[in-house]
Chains A and B, each alone.
Chain A
């Protein structure tokens, strides 16, 4: 201990007291500096994450707006190109000169006009059904999906089947519509891009989870591709799926079967989660 002491006027004060004090002081300063810089880095990281989240929200919003615009354009085109000419033709048949025509000609014109108006009604009904399928509204998701699969099967180009194992209790109308749109988009994508020979959908329940699984044997996407499309401007359909999945508080997974023979898409949603 004597070696570690300095002498001042015959009295001593331990060296290590100085070193200890200095060491503690330096440590305290280093700690404060470290905390300030580290905290700043954390804040910057959090802000970056928030920015990314905001960016993704913007992309989803843009996708949603674009999809709405496309839908409006399609409705406008249907009304303008199909309903408009049909009603104009009907009007031509029923012009004011009709009263001066012969009885047979009048009857023929009225009959033709009636046929055209029926056609226009059917057309408007089709537009209305494409906006909100009446089967979905009146009979539920199971019937609406069955309807879609029957139509696909009817075309003969692909073998489509679906099976609902446990759908005694219907989901809420909003949830059914969102789920229907997701399935519709997934099936459209499969029909357009996968060149699959079969598409099969099953529904079931697992405790308090509702699930839908779609299998097909064509070209599909995996989870990585889906995640990638979520953050880039392309892939409007997948972004719409993502935003609907988010509203439903559900999970969607895209996988390739281990046997590499088919792709599987699973949607799982909690039954009790409110929208």
Chain B
């Protein structure tokens, strides 16, 4: 969460509308304050901005220079002009959705956005990992619960989430607060898999006790 210093007021323009913001705010926060919708997938108000899904990409124009930035991270600055919808922005969002639908075609959140942006869920060959690696579970567990029971392993195309058996056997049964955050059905499956394969018998309440 960004710390809003109420020191100086910054006026920016979003979709032609003047928006009063303060130093330290992000474009996403500014847009939300003015009831302008920018889609997000990996963003959560309780968590640090992450900038991984890039669905919140917008066009930002500063001093005549236009670039594509992640609204959840980009800090407001004087004379900033933001366009939340443009041909290129929509094209980026459409393709990001098609990338993700190849992994998780049945995510309601993705399906809703797909309709808005005309994304075809069959654009790319299916590779049903079901996880879109938004990291909400990982970051919630680390930042809010401070347990790190679930984390990312590996990198690049092999990146995935894993529950850490030693920690999650102790912590997860009484928590499970990350479950409703998951935009797909993968998180619970990953948990159940870890539970059945790797939990120590006597530390798991659901496992058969001697």
| A and B co-occur in one complex | no
Task: Report which A residues bind B (CB closer than 8 A).
Answer: none
